[in-house]
Amino acid sequence: MSHDISDRRHAVAEEQAFLDLALARHAAVLAQLEAEIAAAPADDVGRARSASLRRRHAELRHAGEALVFGRLDAADGKVRHIGRIGLHRADPGLTGTPHDASSTPSEDNEPLVLDWRAPASRPFYTATPLHPQGQARRRHVRVDGPTVTGVDDEPLDHSHDGRSSRAAALVGEGALLSALGQRRTGRMTTAIATLQREQDDIVRADADGPLIVQGGPGTGKTVVALHRVAYLLFTHRRMADQAVLVLGPSARFLDYITQVLPALGETAVVSTTCDDLVPGVRVQREESRVLAEIKGRSSWQAAIESLVAEHRPTATDLTAHWDGEEFVVPAAQVTHSLAAVAARPYHDARRVFSEQFRQILTDAVVERREAMLTEVEEGYEDILEKFDRSSAAPGGPAGGASGVEVDGALTEDDVEELRERIAGSAAVDAVLTAWWPDLDPAPMLRRLLSSPQALRRHAPHLTDDEIALIAAEPEGWSPGDVPLLDALADALGEPTPPPAPGEFIADRARAQRGWVYGHVVVDEAQELSEMQWRMVLRRCPSRSVTAVGDIDQAEASHRHTSWAQAVRSTFGDRWRAAELTICYRTPREVMDLTGPVLEKAGSRNSPPRAVRSSGVTPWEETMTEDEIPARTAQLVAGMRERWAGGTVGVVTTAARAGALTAALPGVPVLTATGAKGLEWDATLVVDPAGITAGPRGWNGLYVALTRCTQELGQVHVTPESSRTGGIVSE
């Protein structure tokens, strides 16, 4: 035993010495970057370089916590330390991109710390005793700030040692279970030190098309999605140039994950929700599930296109005045130009047509002027014939002149000047704008949704009852309106190209509705409607999309019960599926309760396999309506005391949430929908029967039961009172 303790102390001291070295190098690089930023010249080149250096500085600064978390000892004796971001031993390349210390290191420039995303780091996540991949040992290094607090060594150079199949399936089991047992803080942290093989396979999967990841509660869907963002930005520089979009289910969820990507060294990321995806548009009210389902149908795309087509101008003679003369572009010529831009968005088509019209007008003005000049010159030559040719100057009657003075043709400079004047003419612009006006998508959509006649004309898929429901809605945008507004704005296009403010790529992307991202990640993707999926596709036409979710946790108003149904209207059959099968977060004691719940929810999937036990048996208590506020407060106080330093959350019905929030100050009280993606040490589910009484209620209860990492309690309400207080109305 003393020998083991001595070995462990030696290992901790060894890793502490290395961490000290890495932190010193990290500080030196930050100082060097700060000096270069300060010395950058004030010209355009200097400003661009300064922006690049500041991005690198931010990435390195965020990655300073837990800079080193692992080590690989190869069978040939080579030792590599793994960290959040790559660090070189020497100066070359240090102030470049964070990817300088990536990929396969050369012997001349072996990184001090190898980036966890580099190919050489992958055995840290995938090597096993059965398949060591040339490695003799994997070491997990636990740190607290600048201090190494422990190490976990895992030999890899021997055959299977008789461990259980469960343990053999885990990489770094000790470090993983230690991390899972820690108190929850209310913010997600990185898991780069404990990613498991099935998770790492998804993180590093190709990004050449849609990847749909099915994963039950606690399987690490969000962890995988965010680490995949970091990996793709590291591996594909073009994605960093375009930014990555992360769509989450709620603002609370985004706040929960806000630290993860900066801690992984990535800043080229825009995180938002579908409700906030269109710049300048804010959801002002909720809508019923019935209306949400109606507005989520993909058939609205055709309705939007029909509406825009109705507003496009029809061919007619177009008259413009120039220098006091009238010029008419005939309808036949207008028809030809309109056909050439028919496939373009409304405002983009108008811009191109305007350029063509101005060119046609320029040609007409030139033709008329040259005809007039030719007539004048012919008359001038007739006059000259009356004079004695001997009196004419050498070179002909024009005395060596050129251009219109000789042959009635305008010079190139004359034509170019005319073209510029017509291009900038407000009068010509007024003619075009009157015939082909600017359109604002917001009032245009409001008119459509409030008019039964317009809805019947453009949305024949709607029934009379559905039209009446839509037309009777109050003012203000609802969540279902945002995808329709986005579709309309896309079909119209921008009247003028938007500016691109902001120093960081994410700032520019966030400000522009039409920004094209290098990749899109969708969390809780099972909740998206067909029209929301179309919003995703507009922002990533390459279809480089990763969607993670659990179809069994779907609570949205749409009727999808499989991933094929959910994404068919957007991706057809051109998507790949992956699955996370191991539950790391939710203990076995809780997962054992979920089988009957899934069955009643109509699930076709098996619940994920839990790999850990909390040792806490789920408990239940029944009480009357009157007892709920005070008794619930007592139960939550006990849970908070048992899990001091951690978190406790309450999940209940929408009807009870307000009263319980007032009774439990400082405790998150959420519906099952609001709790999606979140986790607490202990969860109290109040009125499970009320949750199941709502639409897709068994799916909601499945969500509610699986939010904890340690303890689950349920409060049942006596049937008499739950009929009035616990049922969520539609």
Annotated binding site: 215-222
Exposure letters 236-245 (e unless 16+ CB within 10 A, then b): beebbebbbb
**What is the 8-class DSSP label of residue 142?**
E
Residue 199 · residue 220 · CB < 8 Å: yes
CA 495 to chain centre: 25
3-state secondary structure (DSSP) of residue 150 = strand
Residue 92 · residue 109 · CB < 8 Å: yes
User: Which residue ranges make up the annotated binding site for ATP?
Assistant: 215-222
Tokens of 544: 């480089």
Separation CA 124–CA 139 (nearest Å): 9
Half-sphere exposure of 684 toward its Cβ, with a 13 Å CA cutoff? 27
Nearest to 428 by CA among 315, 338, 327, 316: 327
Sign of CA dihedral 555, 558, 561, 567: negative
Residue 288 sits at φ, ψ, to 5 deg, of: -70, 160
Residues facing 393 on adjacent strands: none
Sign of CA dihedral 467, 469, 471, 476: negative
Cβ neighbours, 10 Å, residue 613: 11
**Kind of pairing between the strands at 79-83 and 68-74:** antiparallel
Q: What is the 3-state secondary structure (H, E, C) of 368-387?
A: HHHHHHHHHHHHHHHHHCCC
Say which amino acid occupies 84.
R
Tokens of 581: 């099968």
Tokens of 632: 């619930």
Residue 701 sits at φ, ψ, to 5 deg, of: -65, -35
For residue 347, count CB atoms less than 10 angstroms from its CB and return exposed for 0-12, middle for 13-18, buried for 19 or more.
middle
Say which amino acid occupies 131.
H
Say which amino acid occupies 49.
R
Residue 705 · residue 594 · CB < 8 Å: yes
Residue 315 · residue 331 · CB < 8 Å: yes
Residue 531 sits at φ, ψ, to 5 deg, of: -70, -30
